[in-house]
Amino acid sequence: MERLFQKIKYILLGVLFVGFPLFFLTTTQDFFITNKFYFLGFFAIVLTLVCAAEAIVTKKIIWVNKVLDLPILLFFGTVLLSMIVSSTNKVAAFTNPNVGVGVFLFLTIVYFYLSRNKPLSNKIYSLSALILSILTVFFFIQPLKSVDLPSSLEFIKNPSFTSLGSQLDLAIFLGFFLILPAVRILEKKANSKDFALAGINLVALLIPIFLIFKYKLMVLPPLSLSWYAVLDTMKNLVTALFGAGVNNFGIVFTKVKDIYYNQSPLWQIASFSVARIVPFHILTEMGIVGFVAFVFLLLQSGVAAFKQSLTNKVVIAYLVLIVLIFPPTLPLLFLAFFIIGLISASQESNVKKTFTFSEQPIFFVLILIAALIFIGSASYLLGRAYLAEYYFKKSIDGLTQNNAKLVYDNMRTARILNPYEERFVLNFSQTNLLIADSLATKKDITNQDRQTIAQAIQTAISEAKELIKLNPNNAQYFENLANVYKNIIPIASGSDVWAISAYQRAIVLDPANPTYRLNVGGIYYLLGQYANAVSFFEQAVALKPDWSNGYYNLAWSYFQNKQYDQAAATMQNVLTLINKDTDKTDWDKANADLAVFKEKLNSSQQQESSPSGRLNLPNNPVPSISPKITLPQEASPEAK
């Protein structure tokens, strides 16, 4: 019976390893990483269920000590500690599908089963390598380009499509798969199959490398700012020891951005969720304690591997290389834990303990109860969270179908199923704002319409404020609240003041972001407070000196504030920042405005310019209604 259960666990681990890089579904907003996370969680639960069933049938639990058990547990403990001590939204920190606590929990569980079974056979690795390599070549040559496919599957016609979701992750996996046949060739133990597998692996590996460099598919956070994020966490004893918290790298990144980042092509990316390399990410989110545990795990794995085969020596060297070069992702972490599990499984252990029901019934029952509680709670929570992802995807589909009811109902269902997922709260807030905007555009607004508009606005505001409660250190969530207020300025009294207040809080959390200051300047411009508009536009261009639209808004604010000489000089600066050959429309518009400004210097004539292209002046986002809707004081950003 024990052999049967061992065989079942071995098959499950083999299916997990082969299936993980291939698995994706179109039932969630993100087809790849989200579904791989739940795929991993499913196998962690099933493996635990099989183990519990084995204990019940055989009435004994066998524990085998492995040298890497303690390092694995210590590292997971630091991840868990970081979430408890520092993470604000602990549920989101757990369910983050890329580098959340749940990822490390499931990978730790898989490690324990992998390390206690015989190492996966070369046939399993070869099969996974062969399938992934063939699919990579297949999608690159685009044989389906002229085939009619359902609209939901059109994306697989893209030559850069991969079931891993990222060409970088694909390259990392293919690089790992190349190791096994390459080592056999180096050891002169290779046969014709090894040469064939190495050949197709190499060809497949060249494809993601080619695509990454040709189409610049690899957008990575700057290494320097990732290091600054590490230094920022060292300023406080708690964050230095335990990090800023799992799922909080983006918050630290917004604090350490500088003017040089604003002049880079990445400046419109407000924040990155991971650091440039794995060690910097661990130091930022999990602190010195997490980093020491991580280094201890790698060192112990290296010591164990260098007592084993050449293959294991090469794979641990490969693991160290990729964590020192690339940012953390779910596929990279999956591969890392599988490599560590492979090394642990290859190591013999003479320390084995058997706990039987007859000898230690209380301990035996407690272990089983703990396992069953994990299976039940994890199944319920993951099932509920995945169902929420499913309804959220249906809501997104409603947008493409222009079906407002489908959007709203499914968004609301997703929000109820998982009230801690910040994406859902953000989108539900914006959905209610769209409803209010849509009704405000009606020609004849009835009293019922006014009530619906008021209700939708209040829901949009309350959801935006709930989002801030979930994560009060995220500048983008204050920006969302500010945008809600900004959009209702023409229809709700007092919202202009509230919008400015919310933007100022965003500025405190993300001080180097020029967009927030541009938006505040835009509100003052709409209100006719041109001196205040000038002040904020000046701050925006100081943060991003090569921003033509920032200077364009500043020039018009100078003009409206009757500072005609500064207006002309600033508009001249706009012309120098615009490429006349590639952006002729914007250049012509700025040139025409400059002529108006110069004419105004010599006469009292004044002329307005209608915005178009990338050069835009602030404008009311929705039509005005009269009388304006009066919102309760609870809708203000200061109200709790």
Strand partners, 493: 630
Total-model pTM:
0.94
Other beta carbons within 10 angstroms of residue 247's beta carbon come to 28
Alpha carbons 224 and 258: distance in angstroms, whole number: 11
For the chain of 640 residues, list the mean pLDDT of each consecutive stretch of 10: 90 97 96 98 97 92 91 97 96 96 98 91 93 96 87 87 96 96 91 93 97 90 97 97 97 95 94 97 98 98 95 96 97 97 86 80 89 96 97 94 92 96 96 90 86 93 96 96 94 91 96 96 96 97 96 96 94 95 93 91 51 72 73 76
Q: How much is the pLDDT for 610?
A: 41
Alpha carbons 326 and 169: distance in angstroms, whole number: 10
The CA distances from residue 303 to 296, 300, 308, 340, in Å, are: 11, 5, 9, 11
Residue with tokens 């980093």: 291
Burial (CB count <10 Å: 0-12, 13-18, 19+), residue 183: buried
With a CB cutoff of 8 Å and minimum separation 6, the contacts of 296 are 71, 74, 75
∠ CA 225-228-234, rounded to 5°: 155
Alpha carbons 162 and 384: distance in angstroms, whole number: 28
Q: How much is the pLDDT for 612?
A: 45
Query: What domains does the chain contain, in order, with CATH numbers?
Result: 67-144+153-348 (no CATH), 458-635 (1.25.40.10)
With H, G, I as helix, E, B as strand and everything else as coil, classify residue 64. Answer: strand
Alpha carbons 347 and 344: distance in angstroms, whole number: 5
Q: How much is the pLDDT for 350?
A: 63
Q: How much is the pLDDT for 1?
A: 78
Q: Measuring CA to CA, which residue among 129, 108, 128, 115 is closest to residue 15?
A: 128
Q: How much is the pLDDT for 67?
A: 92
Alpha carbons 520 and 424: distance in angstroms, whole number: 26
Are the C-beta atoms of 70 and 62 separated by less than 8 Å? no
Plot region of 492 (φ>0 → left; ψ -120 to 50 → alpha; else → beta): beta
Alpha carbons 33 and 511: distance in angstroms, whole number: 31
Element (H, E) at 55: helix 33-58
Q: Which two tokens stand for residue 173?
A: 């996996």
Residue with tokens 């290779």: 190
Other beta carbons within 10 angstroms of residue 224's beta carbon come to 13
Q: How much is the pLDDT for 3?
A: 86
Q: How much is the pLDDT for 622?
A: 65
Residue with tokens 């040709």: 214
Strand partners, 54: none
Alpha carbons 39 and 165: distance in angstroms, whole number: 15
Alpha helices in 96-166 (DSSP H): 101-115, 122-141
Alpha carbons 526 and 413: distance in angstroms, whole number: 37
Q: Which two tokens stand for residue 466?
A: 């709930």
Single-letter amino acid, residue 183: V
Alpha carbons 115 and 477: distance in angstroms, whole number: 43
∠ CA 219-224-229, rounded to 5°: 100
Q: How much is the pLDDT for 605?
A: 43
Q: What is the chain's alpha carbon radius of gyration, rounded to the nearest angstrom?
A: 29
Residue with tokens 């290296």: 302
Orientation angle between helical segments 33-58 and 361-400, nearest 10 degrees: 160
With a CB cutoff of 8 Å and minimum separation 6, the contacts of 314 are 179, 182, 183
Element (H, E) at 426: helix 422-440
- Measured between its terminal Cα atoms, the distance across the chain in Å is 60
CA 529 to chain centre: 39
Residues counted in the chain: 640
Alpha helices in 234-268 (DSSP H): 237-242, 249-256, 259-262
Residue with tokens 């990822």: 103
